[in-house]
Structure formats: structure tokens, C-alpha cells
A and B are shown apart, each in its own frame.
Chain A
Amino acid sequence: MNFDDTPQEAEFRKLARTWIEANRPDDLLAVLEALNPDGSKKASTADIVRVSKAWQKRKADGGWACLTWPKEYGGRAATPIQRVIWDQEEGAYGQLSQPFAIGQGMCGPTVMAYADEDTKRRLLPPLASGEDVWCQLFSEPAGGSDVAGLRTRAEKQDNGDWLINGQKIWTTGAHFCDYGIVITRNDPTVPKHKGLTMFWLDMKSPGVEVRPIKQASGHSGFNEVYFTNVRIPDSQRLGKVGDGWNVSITTLMNERFSIGARVATGVPEFFDFASSYRMPDGTLAIEDASVRARLATWASRSNGLKYTAYRAISALSRGERPGPENSIGKLVSAPMMQDIAMAALDLQGPEGARTIDGATPAAKLYQQLYHAIGMRIAGGTDEVMRNIIAERVLGLPADVRVDKDVPFNKIPTKGR
């Protein structure tokens, strides 16, 4: 048991560190931080995308974009452990990669698995270099957790093209994205998982309309996307007709988000807050027994996530696949962040209600109060994550699925 790199890992780390040292984007990060003091409402999306693209391009030119992708698609053909090392070295600069997370993390691998060679060579390098930004058009008003309940229609035309009509929702980044992957229903007369087909598309295609949604926090990070007679050539189909469900699983399996990356929990912010906030009697909050008890639980859970990631990294380093223990990350961190944000308000008494902006620990926690709502839902709700752990890790029976073998157009749509 040790935290040492193997000689090859150490060599790679040195290479990465040297390159970052020579190309550090402090200027860009400063812009990001000035714009966006921890997610405050004043952030301008266009500026965030601009500075993020600048860093991504710099990385791509240096051969440090999408590390594990093959070189011909804009990657470096690096191993998974090398990617983790890169992430560790990139550290806080990694914030500048955020607009690309979905495109490079989920859309790219799906295109790589299902598109033809020409398409891959054309689409993937600009996705890797950040020139093109991609979004994932899966969720719909009718189905998020139950995404296979989607209703957006794809109808094959006589000339072989597809005509798309319907609506997607909660599409992160659609308002600044160039491309997307979209899952549609080509056949409503068969059971719901069977009549789905996946495509990639240009977000500037005629008939695509993006409407930002104002979030509970006041920001607009996600969107409604309407499709009205949008034409997609059959060559943009990913996977077989009717096989969209399996294709979407490829996408979702690539939710590689966390390994090695730092997950936000709110613990460091709360620690800083409690270390400086004075209680009415003049003592520091962190000296209060009830604060200490709660913080200790949160800190140990947050540490547990960190060391769980270390176990996964060790598996990668041995060339093995990390175990299922990595599925716990978001389920632990998101509700905890919410509890922590509420505890920070509570300590301030009625004054806790006051809106605070800026980069102080209290202001960061205030932002997390909202951020946490979305985190508990995005990419699988807390409840869905528990189902996944129960079924895939612990081997418990799948939920009863009353609509499983019913033709999609015969499934009831109203709760009452």
C-alpha cells in the first residue's frame, strides 16, 4: 500500500507538469473566476465558453486533449491512469473544461462507437479541441428517469432522410452547442425500449429551436429544445434503427465524471466558514459541539469518497477495471452539499436568509444551496442511483415494470 507512482507514471506526470507549467492558463482562470465568483448570477455564458475554448485549444495543440482517445480523433492514445494523472496535474485549471464535459465525456465515445470512419475523423478532432461543443438530447418532458418513455418522433422519408418532431428538455449547454446526439422514437407500436433510434445532428439545422430555462437558482444552464420538421440524413444515424436504447447505454456508461476528479461536497467551504464565523457569544462556530459533530460526519464521508477514488485509481494503475464502489459518488456528495449549505444558513439565525454574493465561504455555501438541487437530479436522481446500486451491485430484483411488454402507444400517460 503506497501512494507512489510507478516509474512510467512518474515520467508521465513530469511530462504533464512541465507542459502545464509552461502553458498555465492563469489568465483564463482569472477571467473565469472574476466572471463567475462560484456560480453567482452575474456569470456570462459566452465569456465562460470563450475562456474555456481558449484553454481547450491550447491543450489540443500541445497534444493534451481527450487523452484516452486515439490520435486520429484528436486524442493522445493515453491509458486511463495517465488521464487520471493529467486530471490531478491540471487541478483547478480543470474548471475550464466544464463546458466540454458532456460532449467529450458522453457524446464523443458514442460517436466513436457507432459512426463510420469518415464521420469520426471529421467530427471528433474539433470536439476534442473544443472548437465544437456538443450536448446530449435525451430527457424529455415525458421522461427523464424513464428516458425510454421519450416521445420525439423520427419518421423515415422516401429519400431515406429522417424527419424529427418533438421536444427535449433539461439539455445542458444547448444554447452554445454546435452539435448534439439525440434519441428519438421511430416506432411507437412496439414496446418502449425497442422503437428508439439515435442520431447526431447539427444544432443549427433548420427547425431546431433552443429556449433557455430559468433555473431555481436564477441561472440558465439548461434548455428546452424543440424540433419542428428537422431533417436528418440517414448517414447521421448512430447504431441500427430501433437499437437506440442500447446506443444510449454506451453514452450513459461513459459517465466517467468522477474517477480521480474532485467531487464537490461543500466540506472545505463549510470548514472555512465555521473556522471564521463567530457565534453570538463570540466563539467560533467550529468550537460548537453540534457543529463539530455534524462536520465530522460530513468530513469523513467526503474523505471516504476521496479514498474510494484512490482505490479506483489503483485498479486502473494495475490495468484493471475499477469496481462498482464508484457508483456512490454523486449519491453521497449531492445530498450532503445540500445539508451543509442549510447548516451554514442555520448557524446565522434569521440573517442566514440574506442573499450573499462573492467568493467568501458563506457566499459559496449560499450558491451550493441551489446547485445541490440540480445535482441531486442530474445524471440520475438520488432514488435512481439507489436503484442502480441495489440492482447492479447488490443483485436485488429489478423494479416491477408494468409497461415493459406493452406497445409504446398503449402505455397510459396520465397519473390521475
Chain B
Amino acid sequence: MSTTENKTIAFNRRSFLKTSSLASGGLLIGFNLFQACKPEVVKEAAVDLAKLDYKDFNAFIKIAKNGAVTIFSPNPEIGQGVKTSMPMIIAEELEVPWEMVHVEQGILDTEHYTRQLAGGSQSIRHGWDALRQTGATARQMLVNAAAAQWGVEASECTVKEGVVTNAKGETIGYGDLVEAAAQLEVPEEVTLKEPKDYTIIGTDRVNVDIDEIVTGKPMFGLDYKADGMVYASVLRPPAFGQKLDSFDATEAKAVPGVIDVIRIGEKANALLNQEAKNWTAILSSSDKVVVVAEDTWSAIKGKKALKTTWIDDSPLESTEMQDEKLMGLLNGKTFTNLRKDGDVQKAFAQADKVLERTYESPFLPHNCMEPMNFFANVTADKIHLVGPVQTPEFAAMGVADMLGRDVKEVHLEMTRMGGGFGRRLYGDFVYEAAEISNALKKPVKVVSTREDDMTTGVYRPAIKYRIKASVKDGAITGYHLKEAAINSNMYGLIPNFFPAAAIDNYQVDVANYSSNITTGAWRAPYTNFLAYAEQSFFDELAEMMEVDKIQMRLDLLEKAKGHNDERIQYSPERMQEVIKMAVTKSGWGKQPEGVYQGFVSYYCHNSHVAEVADVQIEDGMPVVKKVTCVVDCGIVVNPLGAKNQVEGGVIDGIGHSMYGDFGFEGGKPTAMNYDRYRLIRMKEVPEVETHFIQNELSPTGLGEPTLPPAGGAVANALKAATGKRIYKQPFMEDPGFWKTAEKPILG
């Protein structure tokens, strides 16, 4: 566990830092966050410092002669607030007032990023050290410049709010030091601030893009325009398992505004056949029909006028058939073991009591508010790509491969993203835009409608869990978790989450079958459903054992203490702390009459969370009125933004577990738009009360960890309120199930 006490850090500055003076006067520090966050990549990428220029750095601090500071944030914003919180960390160490800081979105120049395949997650957790070091390095250089000017030791100088002061009380502002500072060597070692001295980290800061957002400035991919740009609407197979046979574009071409109708897929399909390029697995193997038009509406209209025939290429799946297959897997013997402690079978055989339950979830589409879209302009000497994608390096490399071009010719700009939730990790729309532009020799923007987006997604697959536990002499002796999923299974450290280490005989087994429906990561992959399954199970287990639900969890955590298993990264101590605080803050057990509570504690994405949901019965139906959420995510960089994330995660978790329903019939999704797919809305939203554990530990994830527990807290509260336990999401699939006669049947 890394703490943040005052420490002097030597780091490989050459791998990611470079400074110089600006032509206009001032200091520029470039740093490469990709490399800084991924030391293992640094080793691979032999960096020749002499040959680098500033394009090699994806983030910069610029300090102008007037002392104004510009921080180029390398991270595209998907709504998680990093464009505000990451620069806050730099500004803190740099010792400048936040009001003097201007944040700009940096451009990813893929020409220089051929080796940073790691991509993806550059969260606060990964950036924490690198960002602090960068800010501190700049600060140290400015102090060194001042010290040199005064002819004193740098250690005699202090710095505050962009002004350096010496022992005699003389002062110089950063603006007057930048030119000298830019000539200096980058210091090998810098001292980081102590958390108790923070003046920016831990304070509320409004989203840096707020003015642009509330005035509707163009920021999103969908807003991007270029000279001569045409709009494209893509017709993909209506059912998973179908392929394009033929099409007739006569009527489509007659739609005013339609420029052309083309067939694409040849190039993407060729790429798809290269097994090794597994990031293309999300591409459809069918050809597609593209209507190109002067504006979006004409393209959409033209697409509706297309006449197409599709042929069945592989089995067309239905929800019913998927359910059967998944149940078959759960009942079968084709599991892969992911963790095995002790002997669960023996524990079950010797038990006084055994509890076994099965939990089921549907597919879920991501439904980013901004539908998938991308701009491409493929010309003889360059491939220009612009839009919302979370894996720019993958997309750039894939497009270069697909078009037989050098990745150095790809220039990719990331835009602000109207939500991600995992969907924009998969750049299928980037390939489409590039293939279309390449065929047309024109700048083009591919725009998905909501229907395109929802019916040709990269879904969270339906999953089923079966959990079995044994009790002997009042103790939990065995725990066996089985997962049946589609296309892939839980990965990473998930099998080592709680209650691993807390129960001697513990086993996790997984199985999946391959489907032609594209599936992928969805906000908090696997745990977004697993948390509900396990935490409802614990409640029921406590009921069977006739013990207190909270005490049972605390006791298990007590038992988990002192293990020396590196795979187990949850902290029993931190988990106990969030549980105790949630009990106090939610008034657990002391709720007024008519309020029924459900409890969950959960660890994922390196954060510890406890949530309590309050449910009341209104007109015979249970209603979620309030959620109390306690989070230990280490130091909270920007509490104002962090609370937004927590609330969003909790409400999203409630919404999808209550209403999120998505299935297939003949390979076709059962919902295409928000009329059939229900998302949580204002009147269904409970009050959310957020508390952070105050500590000085390194910050951890916040965009995801509050989501998984929410469904479990609601399910447990619904049980308390109605006496009914539900084993299937969405909870409100059959609202009649919950109808009570006002007076709950407690059981």
C-alpha cells in the first residue's frame, strides 16, 4: 500500500520529462504520462532524448512570462472529471493558485505513439505519482532559478502561490523566473508536498469545461466539422448471425441530399481474419451498406430507403436459448478454476446446513448519451481521425493495418466524450469511418442513430452465478462461486475479492460459450452484477444462520486479516471502517417505522465502499428513497467532482438493476431505442448521501466502484420491505411481483 508521506523520489526523468524555453518566453515542461504510468513500457521503448521533440509528450505544463499556467491534460474526458482533477494534482505540487491555471485538452499524436499499446486506463490512481512529480519538478526548477539569481541555496527559499521568497524576505514571481528556469538541468530528485500542506487537492473545484458545457460550445465528436465533410449512415446486419447478401440503392439514391451508396467491409474483414489482431474481434464479419449524404438527416432517410437481403450465416440467438445454454454450463462440468482454497466439497459434505442460490442477469447496452460517431479523412499522405474513442492507440494501429498504411501517417484527435461506460474502448466505428473515407476519398463523419447504437453494440453479456455455502457449528466453512457467461469470464483479481481469505474452503469456477453477439466491458465489468449476487447471498446466509448481517461481514473480515496472499488486495481493515461508518451515517437499525434498509459492502477498482438503501412502500409498491454511500478511495482530489461520480455510480447501478432489460429474438435485439429500453429518470432517483473516509492514502478508482454495490443494497432493502427476495435482474421486470398489501410480510 503506498502512502503519501513526505518523500524524496528519484525517478527516471529521462523517460518522460523534458523542458525548454518557449519562443515567446516562458517555460515548457513536457511529460509523457503513458510512459510515466507504465514503467514496464518505458523499458521497451528505448527513448533517444536527443531526437525527441515536444510532440513526444502527451501532456505539458506551460508557464508564461506573466505567470499564467497552462496545463495540457492528456486525458480525454468521458465524464469522470479527470480533466479537472489531474491538473489539480500538478497545480498543487507546482504551488500555483488554481485561479491562475488554464486547462487545455492535449492532442494525442499517434505518429509518436507506436509503442504505447498499454493505452486505456490512465486514472488518477496511475497518474498520482507521475503528476505530482511533474508539478514538483517544475516547482523545483523555478526555485533553483530564483536561488541562482539571488546567489543563495535553493533550500533557503520557500514558495507559495507562484512566488519564491528567500531568507531575507525578497520575492520573485514565477513569471520572472521561467526563462532562467528553462535553461536549467532537470533535477534528479524532487521533494513532494505533505498532504497536510495541500491547498488545492481536497478542495472543491468546478469542472474546468463548465462554461463551454452550459453554453453549448462544440466539444463532442458529434459536433466536429471539417471543410467538404460528408455524413455517412451505416446499415449493419439487423440480426447477429446475419450477413449482407445484396442491396438495391435505387430509392435511397433518389432521396434528396444523398450523394452515394457504397458497400464496405472488405478491408475490415481482411483484418478480422488475421487471428493475432484480437482487438478487431468487435468488428462485424458482414459487409455493410453506407449511405453518404450532404447532411445527417438525408443519410438517415437514405438508409431507411435501402432494400437489402440478408442471409443467415450462424445461429440466430434468442434470450431463451441463451438462458438454456448458460444453465447448461452452470449444471455442467466444463469449468475453468480461477481460485481454489481448501476443499469446498468436503466442507459441503460435513456441513450442518448448506445454502445454494442462482442469480441471473440480462444483456445490457451501454447507451452512451452521445451515439457512436467518428470523423475520418484518408488522403494520400495522411489519415486524419477525430472523435470519441478511449483506445486511440489501438484504433490508430488497427486503421493503419487495415488500410496497409504506416501508423506514423495516422493523426488522431480525441474529443470530449458523451459518456463511455466501456463502449468506446472498442473502436469499430473508427474502422468504419476510415474505410468509408478511404473508398470515397472524402472527409466523412459516420453518425450512428440511437437504433444503430443500441442494436449493434458491444454489450455486457447475460451472466448467471451460482453460489453455494456451508455452515458448520455456526461458522461459514465453505463458499463456491460459479460463473456462466458469454464469450468471456471474470478476469484479473476478481476471483480474489472478498470473501477470498475469509473462508477456508473457497473456490471460484467459470465457464462460457461463444456467441456471435458482440460483448465487452460495461462500467465495472462483472462486478456490476456479481456484487448484487454475492451480497444478496450473504444476506440470505445471515438469515439462515440467524446472525446479524453486519456482524457476519465484520467477522468474516476479521478472519481475513493477516493473510499473506498477494492476489488479495482488498483491505479487511479499510472495509471494516467503511462498514462501521455506513452503519452510523445511515442510522442502520434505528430507522423510523416504514423505512426498510438493505446493506452492502464491496471492494472493486481498488476502492472500498459500503451502501445502505432505504426503501419505503408507497401505494403498495416499494420505492427507493435514499442511499447512504461511504467510500474509501484514499485521498479525494476534488470532492465536488468525486461526489458527482459517486452519485452517478449509485444511481446508474440502481437504474440498471431495477429496469435494465435487453434480450434477443432471432438474433435481433428486443429494444432499439428509449421507448422500449428503460433508463432511470428523475422521479425514480433517490436522495444520495455521500461520505468519504478521510485518510492520506494514494487515491484509487472512483468512476466505477460505487455502481456494483447499489443493486445489492436495493435488493436487500426490497427483501426487508416486502419479504420477497429476487434472484434476477432487472428487479422491476414484473412490477406485480412487488405488490404488497402495504403491510410487509416479514420473513
Whether A and B are associated in the same complex: the answer reads no
- Residues of B at the A interface (CB closer than 8 Å) are none
